[in-house]
Amino acid sequence: MDIKDILSKCDHTLLSQTATWEDIKAICDDGMKYHTASVCIPPCYVKEAKEYVGDRLAICTVIGFPNGYNTTAVKNFETADALKNGADEIDMVINIGALKAGNYQYVEDEIKTLKQTCGDKILKVIIETCLLTDDEKIKMCEIVTRAGADFIKTSTGFSKSGATFDDIKLFSKHIGKNVRMKAAGGISSIEDAEEFVRLGAERLGTSRIVKIVKKQEADGQY
């Protein structure tokens, strides 16, 4: 698989608590240079980042991150604020406790609310697979499909573990035809990235792929 194809599916990510504007600017420079799908950055940097990159790169940010237990009203305000500041894509975290309690309508309504606010902007729904049973993952495939979100996403990268091949295989069997898949968290090699894409993931949430390519470039291999 051509490395450029993999890069074109990467949401080049920096969500560290210690990230400065200079760090975010560097991520944006990488995204533009290597033609990634987007950069995924903290909400507080969206406005600066969009002014910096203009139309040369999509800006993605996170909502209710990383634990998902903000109220729907707070998540909706965060979403509207991010869009006003120039965000092109929104990655929201579900209320995992509500899912586990069987409050499926709450989870679905929250996604619907944020999708309505997003309009034609992309909404990805992070379900934190490492905290869910397979039955809960299947239920979330159904909920995300009904709610009209654009993507189902495995992980925040801030919990016990990240994306697995088995999760993407499971998603692919249970999502609707209009829902795409994003694998995120722990994607540490080109080989892993290739396998996630082969299994049907259309986006990869990672910072390591660009780092690997930059090292290959320095070594004269890219």
Which listed residue (30, 91, 167, 192) is catalytic? 91
Which listed residue (75, 115, 137, 153) is catalytic? 153
Q: How far is CA 31 from CA 11, 52, 168, in A?
A: 9, 12, 25
Q: Is 137 a catalytic residue?
A: no
Q: Is 25 a catalytic residue?
A: no
CA distance 158 to 115: 24
At 93, the amino acid letter reads V
Which listed residue (115, 124, 137, 182) is catalytic? 182
Q: Is 153 a catalytic residue?
A: yes
CA distance 132 to 99: 9
Residues known to be catalytic: 91, 153, 182
